[in-house]
């Protein structure tokens, strides 16, 4: 597995490659804030920490860019609430 999360702005999603497939976190941009909408991990990788690796990569990417975040995705909201360094990035 490639543990590197990339931003795919054309598809408006962050991607984490897992073998021949990807885990994704969809977003939109509103008023210069990233709105995290939905996270998908392929079923065969459920329970293996892939979602957590994806979330960490997304928040690290956005933190490095100095971006503010609205976490409408329940998974991303829970992840951020458990990590104070990311929770401070949240708006709304």
Convert 20-46 into a string of H (helix), E (strand) and C (coil).
Answer: CEEEEEEEEEECCEEEEEEEECCHHHC
Domains, the chain: 5-87 (3.40.630.30)
| Res 19: pLDDT | 82
| Res 1: pLDDT | 45
Q: Which of 17, 12, 40, 30 is nearest to 68 (CA)?
A: 30
Rounded-to-10 torsion of CA 53, 3, 62, 36: -50
Per-residue pLDDT of the chain (92 residues; tens, 9 = 90+): 446 999 999 999 999 999 889 999 999 999 999 999 999 999 999 999 999 999 999 999 999 999 999 999 999 999 999 999 999 999 97
> What CA–CA distance (Å, rounded) separates 92 from 80?
13
């Amino acid at each position: 597995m490639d543990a590197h999360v990339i931003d795919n702005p054309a598809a408006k999603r962050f991607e984490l490659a897992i073998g021949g497939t990807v885990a994704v976190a969809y977003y939109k941009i509103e008023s210069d804030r990233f709105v995290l909408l939905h996270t998908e991990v392929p079923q065969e990788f459920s329970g293996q920490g892939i979602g957590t690796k994806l979330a960490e990569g997304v928040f690290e990417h956005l933190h490095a860019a100095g971006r503010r975040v609205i976490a409408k995705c329940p998974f991303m909201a829970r992840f951020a609430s458990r990590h104070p360094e990311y929770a401070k990035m949240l708006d709304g």
